[in-house]
Structures are given as structure tokens and as C-alpha cells.
């Protein structure tokens, strides 16, 4: 009997160790060679400025990298991926076996009042999952991982778009402020010339008043733009968690000759995270339905062990099996729920595809219209207004036109320059919307490698 009990104990130990040790690479090295994003979550800890930021000027690429490395929402979606990967690993693990023991026929009356005729048994039972539940569970969990990865990529794209828009705000205001400063210097020179001509009697004192009005207006415009520029710098710095901007300017040059085509954008749209996420939702819904159908198949439980008879000092082995009878619960409600969810996912995919196409058409039309206006203005209106201003300035110095003509030409040139910047701003905004819609800038890795800076 002692040898039999020892045999059972060794068998239990072997089985237990076997199940505790991973026996396949189902989940792979999910948690290997990966580290969480370096995100400052405590507002009391200031974000240190890097060399690029503290040098005075930053680029768009630097701003995007800094935001992606430090954005809390990206850390959240990154950990969602890790959570879903844990589900894949768990879904591929078999149920644990159970060790059980029983003592029978003792403590009663008559011959059973003592332990002389007692019997005892010890054994192991194991639940056996049927219907491919493990494989289907892993398939559903992997689909959830795919959704989490696409949502992470979509979040990266959204963060990039926000940073690009904020960077564009700073850039346009910086350009506008620079031009207004030059304009102010020019108006000050013009004002000095008008003042000298009034003193010698070459022009009326009213011209000096008009010039003074232009000068004050220009100074007010410079101050207002400077305040907007400072505010936009703070907004941009918030993108990577900084409380104040350590940079003083941005460095960038926007290329307005974009190589977009409508057909090419449609192809890119179908490869972007937003499109793929709709498809992946359907894939997961179908996997959930398959798993729900497998749940209607009852699982069996097998058991075996050794039984000892105290009265005769003999022992015998036993085997057993139990099967639930699916008379009432065949997972009818679960299957109905999964079918409805699958149909919902299909309709949401169709509606989502339609919405993405409509949004692309809308943004594309805006982009084409703005690009045509920008190119026409840049090629025709802007040079003409600049040439007119330079010609009238020469004519004014020669005494051929009055100060009203000079101020009018100057005002036209300033307005033309502002319109040019407005069109550039609108064109870039449309480009950013297109990039966000088609998913340009998404990481190619399912689990991006975050910087430790």
C-alpha cells in the first residue's frame, strides 16, 4: 500500500510540474525585450529640456518624438496591448488537474463503528475541454491583441496630428510676427520721411497724421501677434508634458508641392489603422461566435487513482468519467448574443467604410481647392502686390505720388502677405487631416520601442 501511495504522489507531482511549466510557444516572448514608455505622470516632476529643445529652436520631428515618448494616453494603449497579450497566454493554458481523497465506512454503528472496515482512496481528476475551446479561445484573444495594436497606432496618429497642428500654429505666427516686425520697421522709415517732407513743406500735415495712424496700428498688430505666438508656444510644449516652453522658436520649411492623388489616397485609406480596425472588429466578433458555439459542447472529466481496504489490507485501482448532460444549458443565450454582436460588427464596418470614404472626399476637395488658390496667389497676386509696392515707393520718393498712394500700396502688400500665410495655414491643415485619415505616420511595430530620454 505504501508503494501505491508513493506512486500516486509521484504521478501527481509530475503532472503538476508539467502543467506549471509552459510547454509551447503559443504566446511567444510576449514580455521580452520590451519596456514601457517613459511618461511623466506626476505633475510635480518637471520635464527636463533636451539639448535640442534648450538650444532655442526645435523641429517638427523632435516635437513629434517628444510627444510620443511622453504622452500618457499612448502609455495607456501600450499597456492595453500587454494586457491582451496576457489573455492570449492564459487562453492557451489547460485546466489544472485536481487531487482528491476520500475515507469511507467509518464512525457508524455496528461493524462500522470503528475504523476496522474503513476504505480510503486517493486519485487525480482532469477536465478535458472539447470542441476546440482552447484553440478558439486563443484565436479570439489574438484578435483582441490585434485590435489593441491598431488602437495604439491610431492613438499615435492622433497625437502626431495634434502636434503637427500646434507646431503649424507656432510656425505661422512666427512667420507673421517676423513679417510684421519688418513691416513696422518700414512704416517707421516711411513715417520719418513723411515727417521730414512736412517740415520742409513738401506735403500737408494731414499726411503725417495718416502716417501716424498706420504706425500705431502696426505696433498694435506686432504686440498682438507676439502674445498669440507666446501662447502657441506654451500649447505646443504641453504636447510632451512641459509646463513651459524651453524653446524660443521652431525650425521648419513647408513644401506645398504635395504628391497626393485621389486614387492613391483611397488605396492608402484601406491600409490605415482606422480601416483595418473596422475589419479586425469583425474578425474578433466571428471568433467570439465560434467560441460561443464551442461552449455548447459539454466537457468531460476523467479520474483515476487507488483505493485501500483496511479490513483486508488490500488495494485496487479505479477509473471514472463524468459528462454533463446538455438538457437545459446549451449556451443558447451566449450564442444568440455572439451572433447579434457579429451582425452589429458587420454593419458597423460597412457604415465605417462609408464614413471614411465620405470624409476623405470632403478633405480631398478642400485640399485641392486650397492648393489651387494658394498656387495662383503665390504665382500671381503676391509678386504683383510686391512689385506695385516697390514701384510706388520709388515714385513717392521721386515726388510722383502722394503719401496716400504709398500707404495704400503698403497696406495692399501687407494684406497680400497675410492672405498668403492664411492660405499656407489652411493648406497645411488639410494635409494634416489627410495624413491622419489615411494613417500616415503609424508605427510599423505592433509594440513600439519607446525612448528612455
What is the pLDDT confidence band of residue 33, given thresholds at 50, 70 and 90? very low
Mean pLDDT score, 276-301: 94
pLDDT digits (tens, 9 = 90+) for 52-87: 555 589 999 999 999 998 888 888 999 999 999 999
Look at residue 16 and tell me whether its pLDDT is greater than 70: no
Query: Which contacts of 50-59 are long-range, i.e. CB under 8 A and separated by 24 or more positions?
Result: 50/453, 53/246, 53/247, 54/246, 54/247, 55/247, 56/247, 56/248, 56/249, 57/247, 57/248, 57/249, 57/250, 57/251, 58/247, 58/250, 58/251, 59/250, 59/251, 59/252
pLDDT interval class at 23 (50, 70, 90): very low
Among the listed residues 115, 116, 120, the one whose alpha carbon sits nearest the alpha carbon of residue 5: 120
And the C-alpha cell for 154? Answer: 491610431
Residue 109: per-residue pLDDT = 73
Read off the pLDDT of residues 220-242 as tens digits, 9 standing for 90 and up: 999 999 999 999 999 999 999 88
pLDDT at 54: 52
Q: Which residues pair with 317 in a beta bridge?
A: 306
Per-residue pLDDT at 29 exceeds 50: no
pLDDT of residue 443: 53
Beta strands 98-104 and 249-251 are: unpaired
Residue 287 has pLDDT above 80, yes or no: yes
SS3 readout for 278-308: HHHHHHHHHHHHHHHHHCCCCCEEEEEEEEE
In angstroms, what is the C-alpha Rg of the chain? Answer: 38
Find, among 79, 50, 47, the residue nearest to 62 by Cα: 50
The pLDDT mean for the chain works out to 82
At residue 111 the predicted structure's pLDDT band, cuts being 50, 70 and 90, is low
pLDDT at 117 (0 to 100):
65
Residue 445: pLDDT band by 50, 70, 90 thresholds? Answer: very low
- 322: helix, strand or coil: strand
Contacts for 390 with CB less than 8 Å, ≥ 6 apart: none
Q: Is the pLDDT of residue 9 over 60?
A: no
> 326-376: per-residue pLDDT in tens?
899 999 999 999 999 999 999 999 999 999 999 999 999 999 999 999 999
Question: Would you call 159 helix, strand, or coil by DSSP?
Answer: helix
DSSP 33: T
- % of the chain at pLDDT higher than 90: 50
Q: Which pLDDT score is estimated for 53?
A: 56
Distance CA 340, CA 338 (A): 5
Query: Which pLDDT score, from 0 to 100, does residue 320 have?
Result: 93
pLDDT of amino acid 258: 67
Flag whether pLDDT at 39 surpasses 70: no
**Confidence tier at 311 by pLDDT (50, 70, 90):** confident
Mean predicted confidence (pLDDT) in 298-320:
90
pLDDT in tens, 112-157: 677 676 788 999 999 999 999 999 999 999 999 999 999 999 999 9
Q: Which three cell numbers mark 311?
A: 479490513
Across residues 393-412, what is the average pLDDT?
79
Q: Which three cell numbers stand for residue 366?
A: 478642400
Strand partners, 320: 303
Indicate yes or no: pTM above 0.85.
Answer: no
Task: Give the separation between CA 327 and CA 398, rounded to whole angstroms.
Answer: 107
- Number of residues that this document lists for the chain: 453
**What is the percent of the chain where pLDDT is above 70?**
82
Q: Rounded distance, CA 51 to CA 210, Å?
A: 48
Q: Which helix (H) or strand (E) holds 124?
A: strand 119-128
Lowest-confidence region among 27-36, 226-235, 341-350, 428-437: 27-36
Report the pLDDT value the prediction gives residue 30, as an integer from 0 to 100. Answer: 27
- Position 349 scores a pLDDT of 95
Query: Does residue 26 register a pLDDT over 90?
Result: no
Query: In angstroms, what CA-CA distances link 88 with 136, 145, 221, 287?
Result: 11, 8, 60, 13
* pLDDT beyond 90 at 199: no
Copy the grid coordinates of residue 72: 500618457
287 burial level (CB within 10 Å; 0-12, 13-18, 19+): buried
Q: Cα–Cα–Cα angle for 343, 349, 353, nearest 5°?
A: 155
Query: Cα–Cα distance between 422 and 429 in angstroms, integer?
Result: 11
> What pLDDT is stored for residue 34 in this prediction?
37
d(CA 66, CA 241): 9
Does the pLDDT value for residue 447 go beyond 60?
no
- Alpha carbon distance 206, 201 (integer Å): 12
pLDDT computed for residue 337 by the predictor: 95
Looking at residue 105, its pLDDT comes to: 77
Asked if residue 8 has pLDDT above 80, the reply is no
The top-scoring range by mean pLDDT among 43-52, 184-193, 194-203 is 184-193
For residues 290-314, average pLDDT: 91
| Per-residue confidence (pLDDT) for residue 103, from 0 to 100 | 85
Kind of pairing between the strands at 119-128 and 98-104: antiparallel
Residue 180 near residue 220 (C-beta atoms within 8 A): no
The helix (run of H) or strand (run of E) holding residue 429 is helix 403-438
pLDDT tens digits along 170-183? 999 999 999 889 88
- pLDDT for 14: 39
Amino acid at each position: 500500500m505504501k508503494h501505491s501511495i508513493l506512486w500516486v504522489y509521484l504521478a501527481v507531482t509530475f503532472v503538476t510540474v508539467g502543467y506549471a511549466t509552459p510547454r509551447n510557444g503559443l504566446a511567444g516572448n510576449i514580455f521580452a525585450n520590451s519596456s514601457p514608455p517613459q511618461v511623466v505622470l506626476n505633475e510635480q516632476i518637471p520635464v527636463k529640456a533636451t539639448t535640442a529643445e534648450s538650444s532655442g529652436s526645435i523641429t517638427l520631428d523632435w516635437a513629434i518624438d517628444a510627444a510620443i515618448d511622453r504622452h500618457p494616453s499612448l502609455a495607456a494603449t501600450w499597456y492595453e496591448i500587454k494586457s491582451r497579450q496576457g489573455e492570449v497566454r492564459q487562453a492557451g493554458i489547460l485546466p489544472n488537474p485536481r487531487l482528491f481523497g476520500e475515507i469511507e465506512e467509518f464512525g457508524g454503528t455496528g461493524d462500522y463503528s470503528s475504523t476496522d472496515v474503513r476504505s480510503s482512496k486517493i486519485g487525480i481528476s482532469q477536465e478535458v475541454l472539447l470542441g476546440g475551446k482552447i484553440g478558439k479561445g486563443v484565436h479570439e484573444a489574438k484578435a483582441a491583441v490585434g485590435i489593441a495594436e491598431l488602437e495604439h497606432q491610431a492613438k499615435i496618429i492622433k497625437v502626431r496630428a495634434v502636434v503637427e497642428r500646434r507646431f503649424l500654429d507656432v510656425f505661422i505666427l512666427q512667420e507673421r510676427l517676423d513679417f510684421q516686425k519688418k513691416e513696422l520697421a518700414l512704416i517707421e522709415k516711411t513715417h520719418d520721411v513723411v515727417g521730414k517732407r512736412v517740415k520742409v513743406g513738401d506735403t500737408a500735415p494731414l499726411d503725417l497724421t495718416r502716417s501716424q495712424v498706420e504706425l500705431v496700428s502696426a505696433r498694435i498688430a506686432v504686440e498682438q501677434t507676439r502674445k498669440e505666438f507666446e501662447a502657441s508656444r506654451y500649447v505646443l510644449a504641453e504636447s510632451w508634458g512641459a509646463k513651459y516652453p524651453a524653446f524660443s522658436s521652431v525650425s521648419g520649411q513647408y513644401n506645398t508641392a504635395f504628391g497626393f492623388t485621389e486614387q492613391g489616397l483611397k488605396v492608402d485609406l484601406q491600409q490605415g489603422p482606422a480601416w483595418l480596425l473596422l475589419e479586425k472588429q469583425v474578425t474578433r466578433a466571428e471568433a467570439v461566435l465560434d467560441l460561443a458555439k464551442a461552449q455548447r459542447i459539454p466537457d468531460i472529466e476523467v479520474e483515476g487513482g487507488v483505493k485501500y481496504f483496511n479490513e483486508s489490507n488490500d488495494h485496487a485501482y479505479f477509473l471514472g468519467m463524468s459528462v454533463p448532460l446538455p438538457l437545459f444549458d446549451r449556451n443558447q443565450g451566449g450564442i444568440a448574443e455572439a451572433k447579434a454582436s457579429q451582425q452589429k460588427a458587420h454593419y458597423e464596418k460597412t457604415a465605417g467604410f462609408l464614413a471614411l470614404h465620405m470624409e476623405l472626399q470632403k478633405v480631398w476637395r478642400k485640399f485641392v481647392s486650397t492648393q489651387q488658390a494658394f498656387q495662383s496667389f503665390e504665382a500671381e497676386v503676391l509678386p504683383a502686390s510686391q512689385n506695385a509696392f516697390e514701384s510706388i515707393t520709388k515714385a513717392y520718393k521721386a515726388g510722383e505720388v502722394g503719401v496716400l498712394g504709398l500707404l495704400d500700396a503698403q497696406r495692399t502688400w501687407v494684406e497680400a502677405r497675410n492672405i498668403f500665410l492664411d492660405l499656407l495655414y489652411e493648406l497645411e491643415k488639410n494635409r494634416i487631416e489627410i495624413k491622419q485619415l489615411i494613417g500616415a505616420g503609424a508605427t510599423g511595430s505592433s509594440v513600439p520601442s519607446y525612448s528612455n530620454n
